[in-house]
Amino acid sequence: MEKRYEEAMDNLARLATQIYEQLGGGEIPEMQVTTRSKSNIEFDQRAGVWKLGDSKTKRSAKKLSGARMILRSLYMMDFIKEMIEANKSSTLREMYYISEGWEKAKFNDQKESDRLAEDMEIITDCLREDFKLRPEEDGARVIGDITIEERTRKGDLRRINCRDDVGDSGYTIPYNVEEDKVNFTDIGVDFMIAIETGGMFDRLVENGFDETANALLVHLKGQPARSTRRFMKRLNEEEGLPLVVFTDGDPWSFRIFASISFGAINSAHLSEHLATPTAEYVGVTASDILNYDLPTDKLKKTDRTALEQELEDPRFNTRFWRDEIETMLEINKKAEQQALAKYGLDYVTDVYLPEKLGEIGVL
């Protein structure tokens, strides 16, 4: 058995033992989980990312909900133990369906079981991949001149150049991008540009932006999967590639950037592993809406609420973000990336991106 799985097993067993011993000693069973909320994230100066703070949430069998969570945790542990022993893996969704048979320990929806899997990571200090659990979605697509060595299902190593060896849809990032699976052998680009929407990704591909700007194009597919973030983090850290993020201009897109750069609240325990603190935001900003006179939509009530929450969010507490968020609230407008097509299909690659990237100093 690989060492990472052995460690995971040990850590899980320790948790079960703790509960067993509490019961045996006549104590009401309880477990502590680090609280995952906006109020419990702290900026780590050294790593440059936002991580979980020290505040803990107690789950005690004194309450029905706490008792249920403890029971679910035990069932999940047992399930993971069986998978590791049988050398199998499952998706989070499969685990959710299996939990249907856990009687009083079953979940009401998959969100609950996904969250508990994340809790397990925090408690045991392991990754859910160590538990043989993987997410449903595959990673996103990349196009650009880098060469990757990937270990295939059969165990062979295969070299892939992400510009020349792939079709128009690019190279798909696998769910495991750790060193045992993926390594970088040759880097021919100067920087990475992460793009929120498929439409814009395809526009940059069609316009040949990867070659003209010497860039690696990464499609985020909305809020990026862990493997996408980890992939970009490794390229940034190991190969020194700068990362810029290009999204729609609305509160939800700001959050996409936050999770890439600062670390997401739900996975703040993994920020060091996933976040790229040097990532830069290209746009679309509220100022872009004004400066480029972009076609817009009015903010909805939920948009405004989201922006107001962001003003309260410590991760956005910088001059740049405060200005942009307040401006957006003031003009009461949002815009899509593809609104740039107002000036023609080439405008984004000929004018907008060169201007914006020049400002940042990437181009």
Q: Does 294 bind other proteins (CB under 8 A)?
A: no
Q: Does 297 bind other proteins (CB under 8 A)?
A: no
| 134, burial (CB in 10 Å: exposed 0-12, middle 13-18, buried 19+) | buried
Tell me how many helices (H) and strands (E) the chain has.
14, 17
Choose the stretch contacting other proteins; rule: CB under 8 A; options: 77-85, 164-172, 187-195, 239-247: 77-85
Please pick, among 20, 75, 97, 352, the residue that the annotation labels catalytic.
97
Length of the chain: 363
The whole-angstrom distance between residue 119's C-alpha and the CA centroid of its chain comes to 16
Q: Does 17 bind other proteins (CB under 8 A)?
A: yes
Q: How far apart are CA 123 and CA 6, in angstroms?
A: 16
Of 8, 74, 256, 339, the residue at the interface with other proteins (CB under 8 A) is 74
5 catalytic per annotation: no
Q: How far apart are CA 62 and CA 338, in angstroms?
A: 53
Q: Does 67 bind other proteins (CB under 8 A)?
A: yes
CB of 15 to other proteins, least distance (A): 9
Q: Does 81 bind other proteins (CB under 8 A)?
A: yes
Residue burial 52-76, b: 16+ Cβ < 10 Å; e: rest:
bbeeeeebebeeeebbbbbbbbbbb
Question: Residue count at the site for other proteins (CB under 8 A)?
Answer: 28
Which residues are within 8 A (CB) of 309 and not within 5 positions of it... i.e. 6 or more apart?
Answer: 38
CB of 18 to other proteins, least distance (A): 9
Strand order across the beta sheet in which 243-246 lies? 171-172, 141-143, 215-219, 191-195, 243-246, 280-283
CB of 108 to other proteins, least distance (A): 15
Q: Which is nearer to other proteins, 74 or 274 (CB)?
A: 74
Q: Does 8 bind other proteins (CB under 8 A)?
A: no
Q: Does 26 bind other proteins (CB under 8 A)?
A: yes
CB of 68 to other proteins, least distance (A): 6
CB of 195 to other proteins, least distance (A): 45
Q: Does 19 bind other proteins (CB under 8 A)?
A: yes
218 φ, ψ to 5°?
A: -120, 125
Of 61, 189, 217, 286, the residue at the interface with other proteins (CB under 8 A) is 61
> Over the Cα atoms of the chain, what is R_g?
22
Question: For 178, what's the count of Cα atoms within 13 Å in the CB-facing half-sphere?
Answer: 8
Of 38, 62, 88, 115, the residue at the interface with other proteins (CB under 8 A) is 62
Long-range contacts of 347-356 (CB under 8 A, 24+ apart): 348/200, 348/203, 348/204, 348/207, 349/203, 349/204, 349/207, 349/209, 349/212, 349/213, 352/283, 352/292, 353/193, 353/209, 353/213, 353/246, 353/282, 354/213, 356/282, 356/283, 356/288
Choose the stretch contacting other proteins; rule: CB under 8 A; options: 25-33, 119-127, 197-205, 293-301: 25-33
CB of 76 to other proteins, least distance (A): 10
Site residues for other proteins, window 95-154 (CB under 8 A)? 103-105
Q: Which is nearer to other proteins, 116 or 274 (CB)?
A: 116
CB of 32 to other proteins, least distance (A): 16
Q: Does 1 bind other proteins (CB under 8 A)?
A: no
Q: Which residues are catalytic?
A: 97
Q: Which residues bind other proteins (CB under 8 A)?
A: 12-13, 16-17, 19-20, 23-24, 26-29, 61-64, 67-68, 70-71, 74-75, 77-78, 81, 103-105
